[in-house]
Amino acid sequence: MGSLFRVLIVACAGLALAGCNRSQPQTAPASAPAPAVAAPPATPQPAAPAPIPPSTELPLNSVDSVMLSRPADAPMAIVVQVSGMAPSAGWTGVKLVEDTEANGDASIKTYKLVATSPAMPDENRNPETLQAELRVDSLAPEVKTIRIVSATNEISAPIAE
């Protein structure tokens, strides 16, 4: 038992010495410069809108309203009045163009709201409201809805009987 006791004492002494040999964490001297902190990445600026080619017929940015009416002189005809937003001032030739590539639903007649961009596009791009009107003298009897499509949205209006 004496030798076991000696082994335990030596082991405890070794552990005690090992614990005393621990080094304290070193701190930087007060005169040392602080490590550089990485700056957060700069937030990207929004991309500038793509340039608009001058004198190009394009869909207007949005269609805001659609109104259908029947003229007194031709009760079977439909007058389509549309209001939409151009990306800048100076757009001309605002009109509704039949969209022949529209879906195959025969009950819906689709038109695109288009205009011609100015020869010198406005750098400020202040939006401008424009109107178009189209008289349709005859529609197929199955057409029940007129849909107007712009670059960003569309509005549909039912045809009153």
Q: Which two tokens stand for residue 9?
A: 């004492």
Contact 158, 145 (CB under 8 A): yes
Amino acid at 75: P
Q: In degrees rounded to 5, what are phi and psi of residue 79?
A: -110, 125
Residues facing 112 on adjacent strands: 97, 149
Which pTM does this prediction carry?
0.67
Give per-residue pLDDT as tens, 2-11: 555 565 565 5
pLDDT at site 96: 98
User: 125-143 b/e with 16+ CB inside 10 Å = b?
Assistant: eeebebebebebeeeeeeb
Q: Where along the chain do its domains lie?
A: 57-158
pLDDT at 112: 97
